[in-house]
Amino acid sequence: MSISIKNESEINKMRIAGKLAAEVLEMIAPYVVPGVTTNELDQICHDYMVNEQQTIPAPLNYRGFPKSICTSINQTICHGIPSDKKLKKGDIVNIDITVIKNEYHGDTSKMFCVGPVSQFAERLINITRESLFLGIEQVKPGATLGDIGHAVQSHAESNRYSIVREFCGHGIGKNFHEDPHVMHFGNRGEGDILEAGMIFTIEPMLNIGKRHMKVLKDGWTAVTKDRSLSAQWEHTILVTPEGYEILTLRQEEI
């Protein structure tokens, strides 16, 4: 699969899908409280996507994934499957949303704190988000994917966090996952050269401990091997003639 350059019609559809994905994260925020189960969060998001937005939850039945959202708690890096486990005070949880609207995907995730959290957790969340935006700021025609990875890696490692290397950002459009692979580490000037019309996600995953991970027996849930905390943020990005546009920007970020 080669990297697709989206035309204006496709870009407009991606803008709509991205806005809708962002709205799901805005909608669910008040429900992320101690005592709620991730199954309940999944059901609320599912109903909102299907009934209110008339969107399709992209994760549901994707390669066998059983739920409509991913909920990754504490040492879970990504692809956490919603369950009857209740969130408790001090937990951190990533909620990853992907919707399909008019055949096009919008993909984004956000970290939530369940009540007050430790300073360690709060700092990890903040540095991970900063790493995402430093990566985004590299995006412009003529830049490279290595520029993005280098910016993310430099900020993460200078703050003594490790970067999960088994998962990466990805091209997105009519397909959930397209070329290119967007690594969160690398060297400036290396990798594919960015062109206006490219759309991809940037979604760094940072660990307090070592970078190593394992996938649980369910075939999806990725956790830190040393059980250290992990955090992730994700946005879908359009390369514009002048630079970039964040298609999944939430109201709180404007």
The interaxial angle of helices 38-47 and 8-28, nearest 10 deg, is: 130
Confidence of residue 187 (pLDDT cuts 50, 70, 90): very high
Q: Look-up: residue for tokens 């708690």?
A: 73
Q: pTM, whole model, 2 decimals?
A: 0.98
Confidence of residue 15 (pLDDT cuts 50, 70, 90): very high
Is residue 103 helix, strand or coil? coil
Confidence of residue 173 (pLDDT cuts 50, 70, 90): very high
Position 238: which residue type?
A: L
- Give the Cα separation of 174 and 187 in Å (integer): 30
- Give the Cα separation of 19 and 39 in Å (integer): 24
Is a pLDDT exceeding 90 seen at residue 1? Answer: no
Residue 152 tokens, joined? 């993310």
Position 180 scores a pLDDT of: 98
